[in-house]
Amino acid sequence: MDIETRHLRIVKAVADEGSITRAATVLGTTQPALTRQVRRVEDHLGGPLFQRSRSGVELTPLGRVVIGRANAVLSVIDSLQTNLVVKTAFVTPPEVRIGVTLGNALVGLLRGLRSVVPGTEIITENETRIDGLLDLLSSRRLDFAVIHEFVGHEIPLDPRLLTRPVGCEPAFVLMAADHPLAGLGELDLADLHEEEWLLSPLDVDREADCMTRICFEAGFTPRISNYLSDGLSIELIRAGEAIALSTPTVRDSGMVLKPLIGIPMRTRRLLVIDRDNPFVGHLDKLARFTAEVLTETLEHQPVYRAWHDAHGTLPAGPRGAA
């Protein structure tokens, strides 16, 4: 893992607040998610940055060195970004760059941009990793991104990033059409304890963390032997070699989607932009366009429509709510 400015801002927030819990509130994430991120930074740097104190946490000797350097680096970066924003505040960029992890979100964002900035060239970036999209945003190589996170396993975000929720959906089980459980209605996750599971690659998102938690709560440890991208995963699932948790928008022959009792996993989708980006004034309108297309896509899926009639729409926010 390379240390990025967002990692420095996470460390700075914890140091400033003197508490993981308070820093998580400031960053708009949860305490467990922030703790995991801090530990990743500590592992990379080779030692603990914080130690427990009566009031929360305090810096270790290594932490004091790191926060001193972090403050210096962030001060230079913030000053540079402010100067660039002042110089470009009244100039409409000739192009807008966007990145997404879901095709339907791309359609909504494209429609919105054509409406609010007609004549501006739209360039799309292909990046499947959430961290990759966030890095592109932080380095100003993207203007907008639509990312996903799992409720209860929120992603710590750079405080300079603004978000708008554009959807929240339940995870359904995707399995072969001839699977023995394919004829049932809603499935109990505990009944899937002997199944072979397929997850997205570990560097894509936090599905593995969320999957481990919900299976533990259901009383079993999942058998995960496949971490594959969409194309390869579809072939294995269709052949009956594995099952997976999936967005309810998937429609492919030879497979079926089955809802889970109790909605153990929820996926929140967010439109993200840097607060100093020249397109930031269009954030709310673009979020509405994106949300509308995502909703339309879900409603065209019969199994989701039946589930929605029984359960209603899942709230998308606020971030950090489990």
What residue segments make up the domains of the chain, in order of their start? 5-87, 93-169+267-311, 172-264
- When pLDDT is cut at 50, 70 and 90, the band that residue 1 belongs to is low
Question: Tens digit of pLDDT for each residue in 284-305?
Answer: 999 999 999 889 888 888 999 9
Q: What is the pLDDT averaged over residues 217-221?
A: 94
Superfamily in which the 93-169+267-311 domain is placed by CATH:
Periplasmic binding protein-like II (3.40.190.10)
Check: CB of residue 196 under 8 Å from CB of residue 320. no
Q: In percent, how much of the chain has pLDDT > 70? A: 93
Where is average pLDDT lowest: 93-97, 124-128, 180-184, 216-220?
A: 124-128
The answer, yes or no, to whether residue 322 has pLDDT greater than 50, is no
Statement: the pTM of the whole predicted model exceeds 0.75: no
CATH topology (fold) of 5-87: Arc Repressor Mutant, subunit A (1.10.10)
Check: CB of residue 108 under 8 Å from CB of residue 116. no
The answer, yes or no, to whether residue 251 has pLDDT greater than 90, is no
Instruction: Supply the pLDDT for residue 90.
Output: 46
Instruction: Supply the pLDDT for residue 319.
Output: 65
Tokens representing residue 64 in the block: 């004091």
Burial bucket for residue 54 (CB in 10 Å: 0-12, 13-18, 19+): exposed
Instruction: Supply the pLDDT for residue 81.
Output: 67
Question: Tens digit of pLDDT for each residue in 154-200?
Answer: 888 888 899 999 999 999 999 999 999 998 889 999 999 999 999 88
Instruction: Supply the pLDDT for residue 78.
Output: 77
Pairing between strand 50-52 and 95-100? unpaired
Dihedral in degrees, nearest 10, Cα atoms 298, 127, 131, 148: 0
Q: Which of 161, 171, 238, 231 is nearest to 207 (CA)?
A: 171
Tell me if 5-87 shares its fold with 93-169+267-311.
Answer: no
Q: What are the helix (H) ranges across the chain?
A: 5-17, 20-27, 31-45, 61-88, 103-116, 130-138, 207-217, 230-238, 283-299, 302-311
The answer, yes or no, to whether residue 255 has pLDDT greater than 70, is yes
Q: How remote is the C-alpha of 209 from its chain's centroid?
A: 13
End-to-end C-alpha distance for the chain, whole angstroms: 28
Q: What is the pLDDT averaged over residues 108-130?
A: 88
Superfamily in which the 172-264 domain is placed by CATH:
Periplasmic binding protein-like II (3.40.190.10)
Instruction: Supply the pLDDT for residue 119.
Output: 86
